[in-house]
Amino acid sequence: MKALVLHGPNNPFSYENVSDPIPKNGEAVAKVIACGSGLTIQHVKAGRTEVNFPIIIGHEITAELVELRGNCGELKVGMPVTAYFYLTCGYCKWCKINRESLCENFNGYIGRQINGGYAEYISLPAKNFIPLPNTLNYKKYPLETAIICDAIATPLKVIKKGRITNTDKVAVIGAGGGLGIHMLKMLKMYNIDCIALETKTIKEKACKEAGANLFLSTTSNNIIETIQDYTKTYGLDVVVDFVSSKASLELGVSILGKGGRLITLGGSGESFVADSGKMLLKELELIGSRYCTKQEVLDSLELVARKLITPLVTEKVSPLEANELHNKIEMGTVIGRAGIIF
Ligand SMILES: [Zn+2]
């Protein structure tokens, strides 16, 4: 099969012939139709995430099953599927209570520890394939369908984890990125008042179209005053931070009002300082959120199938254009999500 192979950190993709994947017992092979391209996988290409090279990256897929080996549960050849990104055990206490992003026997990620979707075929443990609802028009919208399993499902989890309701006022930091735009759309779907915070002012239009009532550049120096005015001095109920740098997290804490929740999802790994006195007086909460559950992927597929939320994919390219596309992702100039059609 043809695949986009990364041979080392910060290497260009090599579009080459590799052996077709051979499924092990309990695994299935699917023919990839489309695969989403976001910052998470660009971190691998750029060498910021450790993986075993050579590797085929990509985990947001639309695909059709072509081969099953051993017990593959409900899966059948010909079924359209997407994927659950994490390799989890399915039997530890966290997997059992539907919090599998905390799996005790976590085995890594599709596209890092095992080959992913930037190829004609992908082989995965059967439990990582999620059948698509038959009301979803994946043939017409393969990339929009592919990105649901992360770009829609991750924001859906944030709504639940942050206990966000439609009387809350929410700010999204990194609102113009692939996850940020879909977070705004998710908040809009729930009729929740939200503000977009973003360094790139060219993304203002897209953020407002996705549902932001107010767009603020994180580089402007009157952010705190503007938010105080906007919230009539009450401060925000929730800040969702997709950047999670020291500066963005400290900004997040500073704009929260009483009972505020700071939700951090960005992978910077940086530490930050918060005033414990203010946290106490305001009863602030710090919440980490990591990807989503399989059920949240299923729920997200349903939300899109029912047209309650629409994925935004603005760049659709062939595998031959993958290097150029990833340069744009690295520069942060893509609006919404991008992806590759195979
Ligand atoms: Zn587990």
What confidence tens digit (pLDDT) does each residue in 87-120 have?
A: 999 999 999 999 999 999 999 999 999 999 999 9
Nearest to 22 by CA among 64, 85, 67, 74: 67
pLDDT digits (tens, 9 = 90+) for 170-184: 999 999 999 999 999
pLDDT digits (tens, 9 = 90+) for 259-292: 999 999 988 889 999 999 999 999 999 999 999 9
Q: How far is the CA of 97 from the centre of ligand 1 (A)?
A: 10
Q: Grade residue 58 by pLDDT with cuts at 50, 70 and 90.
A: very high
Q: How far is the CA of 219 from the centre of ligand 1 (A)?
A: 41
Asked if pLDDT for residue 219 goes beyond 90, the answer is: no
Asked if pLDDT for residue 47 goes beyond 90, the answer is: yes
Q: Which residues pair with 17 in a beta bridge?
A: 2
> Residues of the chain with pLDDT > 90: what percent?
96
Q: How far is the CA of 92 from the centre of ligand 1 (A)?
A: 4
Bond into 54 cis (ω within 30) = yes
**What size, in residues, is the chain?**
342
C-beta of residue 248 within 8 angstroms of C-beta of residue 222: no
Domains along the chain?
2-150+292-341 (3.90.180.10), 163-288 (3.90.180.10)
Q: How far is the CA of 87 from the centre of ligand 1 (A)?
A: 9
pLDDT digits (tens, 9 = 90+) for 220-236: 889 999 999 999 989 99
Neighbours of 137 (CB within 10 A): 13
Across the chain, mean pLDDT equals 96
